[in-house]
C-alpha cells in the first residue's frame, strides 16, 4: 500500500518507508462493525464504521482485523484497486535491491508463498497449495525433507520441484559473490540440497545447525532465473509472470501500475476477484485517491487522514498492532565518528518523535521501543538501547566537546574548521513527515548539531538505500514471519548487504551469527537481546516508534486488512490472496 512517512525492507526481514509515524483467519464474518450509536470497548474484526463517534477501541494484541470471512460468503467477481509507494525497478524480492515491503506485497499475488502464519505468530504451517509435508528427519546432521504438491507448477509449465530449492540455496548462500542476496542467513549453513525419492521431494542437509528452519525457503527462486546474471539483472523492470505460480498472474505492468488477473493455470482455490490493480502514488496522493473513490483502501495512521475518512460514508476503519519498528538509521560511511552518532542519538527525543505521529489518532503506545526487530508486546522483548542513549541535549553537547568539537558563534559545533552539518532524508511530503523532520532539525539545533531536511520521491527509496546516498534516514523494519530474532545478522552484521548503517564488528557478527544455532526459541531470543545490546553501542540504528497499522477500506472488503504476522507492514495479506473479495 502506498504510505509511507519514511521507509521498510522485506525478505524474511523487510525494509520499508517507515511507518515512521504514519502510522488469515477463517470462520464467520469477523463480528459486527462498530457503528456510530454503539459504544464498544474492543475493536470488531471487521473494523469500526467511519461515522463512529466514540473513542476508537484498542485492538487486541495478536488479533486479525481484516474482516475474516469464509470463502463461500465472499462473492465471485469484482475488482480491488490499491495504492503502492514503489513498483520495482527490481522485481526479484530475494535480491537486496528488490527486498522491500512493496515488492513483498506484489509477490503475494503471483509468486509461491510456502508457509502461513497466524496473526499472533504462534502457529506456523506449510501452505498446502505448495507444501504437503515438511519433516525434520535427523538432528545430526540436521536434515529437513520437504514434500511438494504434485500439482504445483510454474506458469511456463515447469514443475515446482527440488530444482527450485537448489536454485534458491545457491543464490542465497553467499558462496558466489556474483549474486546479491538480501540475506544469507540460514542458507550459508546448508551443506546440500538434493532430490529426494522423487522430483517432488527435497532433502536439505545442514553443515551447521540452523533454527528455526521454517525461516528458509518460504519463498522460492524459479530455477529458470538461477544464473547470477539473471538474479541481478534479469528482473529489472520485469516481473516475469511466466515464472509465477500463484492465484493471480501479471496481466500488465509499468513503473506506475500493475494489474493482476486470475491465473488460469493456478491449481488451488480460484481467485475471488476479477482484477487487482496497484497504482504507484505518493503518500499525500493516496488519501485523496481513496476519498475520490479511485482506490479501495488506504493507510490512515495520521490525524488528518483519520479526519478525512471519518467524513466519508460506507467506510470501515481497521487497526491492529503492527509488527514493524520505525527507526532513524545513520550511515556510518557518511557519519564515521561514533561520537557524532552518539551525540545525535542523545539529542533526539525519541518519545517526542513518536508522539508527533500519534497526535490525533487516538493511539497511546504501550512503551517506547528499545529493539529494532522485536515489538514491545512480544514475549521475550527487552530494551536494548544503551543507558547513554537517553535524551539529553546537555549530554549530547558534552559528548561532542569531549570529542574535540567546539561550539561556534552560530550555535553549531565544528571541528577542524568544519561545521557539523547532517542531512535527514525522507520519502514523503506528508504533513506528519514534515513535522517529524522539523522536530529533528530543532532537536539538533538545541544540541548544536546542524540538520537539514532532504525530501526524495518514494520511488527513489530502494535506489537511495542501495547506493548509500544519505546520512540519516527514516527506515522501518518488519519481519515477514514470526521469527524476527533470527534476522539480526541481516541488519547488524558487517558483511550483510542489508546493513544500511554500514557498520558492525567481529564481536557483533559472531554473536548475531550464533543465534540460529540455538534450537530453543526463548534462549535464542535471549541471545539476540545480548547481541543487539552490543550492536546498539555503535549508535547507528535507533528505534523510536512501533506504530499500529490503521487502514480505511470500502465497506464489505473481506479478508483484507492488518492481521499481525499474516500481513505485511502495510496490511497486505502475505498468502491466500485468492480469498480477498467483497461480501456486498
d(CA 187, CA 178): 16
Is 8 inside a domain boundary? Answer: no
Query: Do 351 and 489 belong together in one domain?
Result: yes
Answer yes or no: is pLDDT of 123 > 60. yes
In the listed set 185, 213, 232, which residue is the last one of a domain according to the structure?
A: 232
- The pLDDT assigned to 38 comes to 62
* Domain match, 536 and 556 both: no
378 and 517 housed in the same domain: yes
Mean per-residue pLDDT, 286-296: 96
Structure confidence at residue 103 as a pLDDT band (50, 70, 90): very high
Same domain, yes or no: 254 and 396: no
Position 25 scores a pLDDT of 24
Query: What's residue 4's pLDDT?
Result: 36
Residue 469 has pLDDT above 70, yes or no: yes
* Domain end call among 201, 232, 263: 232
Give the other-Cβ count within 10 Å of 267's Cβ: 14
The pLDDT assigned to 474 comes to 86
- Where do we find the cell 557483533? 508
Residue 405 domain flag: yes
pLDDT at site 30: 40
Strands 450-455 and 297-299: unpaired
Q: Which residues pair with 253 in a beta bridge?
A: 258
132 sits in which H/E element: strand 131-139
Residue 204 shares a structural domain with residue 258: no
Burial of 303: CB neighbours in 10 Å, binned 0-12, 13-18, 19+: middle
> Does residue 456 lie within any of the structural domains?
yes
What CATH number is attached to the domain comprising 362?
Answer: 3.10.105.10
> Is 190 part of a structural domain of the chain?
yes
Distance CA 300, CA 291 (A): 12
For residue 21, what pLDDT band results from cuts at 50, 70 and 90? very low
Listed residue (542, 490, 476, 501) closest to 100, CA to CA: 476
Distance CA 446, CA 311 (A): 39
Answer yes or no: is 226 within a domain.
yes
User: How far, rounded to the nearest angstrom, does the alpha carbon of residue 408 sit from its chain's CA centroid?
Assistant: 42
What's the pLDDT at 407? 97
Instruction: Judge residue 39's burial from the number of C-beta atoms within 10 Å of its C-beta, 0-12 exposed, 13-18 middle, 19 or more buried.
Output: exposed
Whether 1 is in a domain gets the answer no
pLDDT class of 508 with cuts at 50, 70, 90 = very high
User: Do 376 and 480 lie in a common domain?
Assistant: yes
Least confident of 126-130, 133-137, 570-574: 570-574
DSSP result, 19-50: -SS-----STT-SPPB-TT---SB--TT-EET
Tell me how crowded residue 310 is: count the other CB atoms within 10 A of its CB. Answer: 18
pLDDT recorded at residue 355: 86
CA–CA separation, 133 and 117 (whole Å): 16
- Split at pLDDT 50, 70, 90, the class of 5 is very low
Are 121 and 108 found together in one domain? no
Same domain, 143 and 262: no
Are 212 and 315 in the same domain?
no
CA dihedral 237, 239, 241, 244 (to 10 degrees): 160
Question: Which residues form the domain of 150?
Answer: 117-232
245 vs 100: which has the higher pLDDT:
245
For the chain, give the percent of residues with pLDDT over 70.
Answer: 93
Instruction: Out of 201, 216, 232, pick the residue that ends a domain.
Output: 232
pLDDT at 34: 47
pLDDT value at position 493? 93
How far is residue 577's CA from residue 375's CA, in Å, rounded to a whole number?
26
pLDDT at 282: 86
pLDDT average, residue stretch 311-337: 94
Give the mean pLDDT of the chain: 90
Least confident of 97-106, 160-169, 292-301, 548-557: 97-106
Band (349; pLDDT cuts 50, 70, 90): very high
Residue 128 has pLDDT above 70, yes or no: yes
Question: Measured between alpha carbons, how far is residue 310 from residues 1, 82, 361 in Å?
Answer: 20, 19, 12
Q: What is the CATH number of the domain that holds 133?
A: 3.90.76.10
Strands 324-330 and 541-545: antiparallel
Q: Does 41 score more than 90 pLDDT? A: no
* pLDDT of amino acid 90: 95
Q: Could you tell me which of 582, 284, 268 has the C-alpha nearest to residue 431?
A: 284
> Do 374 and 463 have their domain in common?
yes
462 and 341 belong to one structural domain: yes
Q: Rounded mean pLDDT of 116-133?
A: 94
Contact criterion met (CB below 8 Å) for 424 and 441: yes
Please say if the pLDDT value at position 113 is more than 70. yes
What are the strands, taking DSSP E only, across 300-439? 315-320, 324-330, 406-407, 413-415, 418-419, 421-426
Length of the chain: 584
Model pTM above 0.85: no
Pull the grid cell for residue 392: 539529553
Same domain, 349 and 280: no
CA distance readout (Å), 112 to 134, 153, 395, 520 = 16, 10, 51, 28
Question: Would you say residue 12 lies in a domain?
Answer: no
* Mean pLDDT confidence for 294-308: 93
Average pLDDT over residues 83-87: 93
Q: Which residue, among 34, 25, 28, 31, has the nearest Cα to 57 in the 3D structure?
A: 34
- Taking the C-alpha atoms of residue 153 and residue 242, their distance in angstroms, rounded to an integer, is 11
Closest CA to 302 of 286, 315, 278: 286
Count of domains observed in the chain: 3
Looking at the domain assignment, is residue 74 inside a domain?
A: yes
- pLDDT 10s digits, 475-504: 888 777 888 898 898 899 998 888 999 999
pLDDT above 70: residue 452: yes
Amino acid at each position: 500500500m502506498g504510505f509511507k512517512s519514511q521507509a521498510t525492507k522485506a525478505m524474511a526481514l523487510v525494509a520499508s518507508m517507515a511507518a515512521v509515524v504514519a502510522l488469515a483467519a477463517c470462520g464467520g464474518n469477523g463480528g459486527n462493525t462498530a457503528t456510530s450509536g454503539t459504544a464498544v470497548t474492543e475493536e470488531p474484526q471487521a473494523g469500526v464504521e467511519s461515522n463512529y463517534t466514540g473513542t476508537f477501541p484498542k485492538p487486541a494484541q495478536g488479533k486479525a482485523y481484516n474482516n475474516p470471512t469464509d470463502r463461500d460468503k465472499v462473492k465471485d467477481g469484482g475488482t480491488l484497486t490499491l495504492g503502492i509507494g514503489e513498483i520495482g525497478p527490481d522485481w526479484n524480492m530475494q535480491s537486496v535491491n528488490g527486498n522491500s515491503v512493496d515488492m513483498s506485497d506484489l509477490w503475494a499475488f503471483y509468486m509461491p508463498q510456502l508457509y502461513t502464519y497466524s496473526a499472533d505468530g504462534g502457529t506456523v504451517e506449510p501452505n498446502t497449495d505448495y507444501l504437503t509435508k515438511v519433516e525434520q528427519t535427523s538432528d545430526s546432521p540436521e536434515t529437513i525433507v520437504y514434500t511438494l504438491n504434485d500439482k504445483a507448477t510454474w506458469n511456463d509449465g515447469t514443475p515446482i520441484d527440488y530444482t527450485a530449492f537448489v536454485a534458491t540455496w545457491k543464490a542465497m548462500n553467499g558462496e558466489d559473490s556474483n549474486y546479491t542476496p538480501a540475506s544469507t542467513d540460514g542458507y550459508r549453513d546448508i551443506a546440500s540440497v538434493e532430490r529426494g525419492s522423487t522430483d517432488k521431494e527435497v532433502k536439505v542437509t545442514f553443515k551447521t545447525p540452523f533454527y528455526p528452519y521454517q525461516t528458509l525457503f518460504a519463498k522460492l527462486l524459479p530455477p529458470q532465473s538461477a544464473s547470477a546474471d539473471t538474479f541481478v539483472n534479469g528482473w529489472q523492470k520485469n516481473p516475469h509472470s511466466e515464472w509465477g505460480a500463484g492465484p493471480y498472474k501479471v496481466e500488465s505492468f509499468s513503473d506506475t501500475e500493475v494489474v493482476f488477473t486470475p491465473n488460469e493455470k493456478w491449481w488451488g482455490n480460484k481467485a475471488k476477484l476479477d482484477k487487482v490493480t496497484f497504482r504507484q502514488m505518493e503518500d499525500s496522493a493516496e488519501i485523496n485517491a481513496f476519498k475520490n473513490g479511485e482506490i479501495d483502501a488506504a493507510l490512515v495512521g495520521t490525524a488528518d487522514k483519520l479526519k478525512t475518512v471519518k467524513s466519508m460514508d460506507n467506510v470501515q476503519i481497521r487497526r491492529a498492532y503492527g509488527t514493524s519498528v520505525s527507526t532513524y538509521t545513520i550511515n556510518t560511511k557518511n557519519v564515521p565518528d561514533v561520537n557524532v552518532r552518539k551525540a545525535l542519538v542523545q539529542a533526539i527525543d525519541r518519545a517526542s518523535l513518536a508522539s508527533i505521529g500519534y497526535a490525533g489518532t487516538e493511539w497511546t503506545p504501550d512503551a517506547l521501543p528499545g529493539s529494532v526487530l522485536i515489538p514491545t508486546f512480544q514475549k521475550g522483548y527487552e530494551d536494548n538501547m544503551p543507558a547513554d542513549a537517553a535524551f539529553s541535549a546537555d549530554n549530547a553537547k558534552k559528548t561532542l566537546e569531549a570529542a574535540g568539537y567546539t561550539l561556534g558563534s552560530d550555535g553549531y559545533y565544528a571541528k577542524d574548521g568544519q561545521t557539523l552539518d547532517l542531512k535527514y532524508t525522507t520519502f514523503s511530503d506528508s504533513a506528519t513527515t514534515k513535522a517529524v523532520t522539523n522536530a529533528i532539525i530543532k532537536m539538533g539545533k538545541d544540541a548544536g548539531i546542524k540538520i537539514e531536511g532532504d525530501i526524495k520521491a518514494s520511488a527513489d527509496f530502494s535506489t537511495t538505500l542501495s547506493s548509500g546516498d544519505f546520512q540519516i534516514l527514516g527506515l522501518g523494519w518488519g519481519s515477514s514471519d514470526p521469527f524476527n530474532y533470527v534476522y539480526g545478522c541481516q541488519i547488524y552484521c558487517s558483511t550483510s548487504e542489508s546493513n544500511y548503517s554500514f557498520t558492525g564488528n567481529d564481536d557483533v557478527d559472531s554473536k548475531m551469527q550464533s543465534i540460529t544455532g540455538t534450537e530453543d526459541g526463548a534462549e535464542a531470543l535471549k541471545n539476540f537481546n545480548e547481541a543487539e545490546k552490543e550492536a546498539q553501542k555503535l549508535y547507528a540504528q535507533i528505534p523510536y516508534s512501533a506504530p499500529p497499522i490503521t487502514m480505511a477500506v470500502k465497506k464489505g472488503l473481506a479478508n483484507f486488512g492488518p492481521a499481525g504476522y499474516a500481513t505485511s507492514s502495510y496490511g497486505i495479506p502475505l498468502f491466500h490472496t485468492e480469498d480477498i473479495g467483497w461480501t456486498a
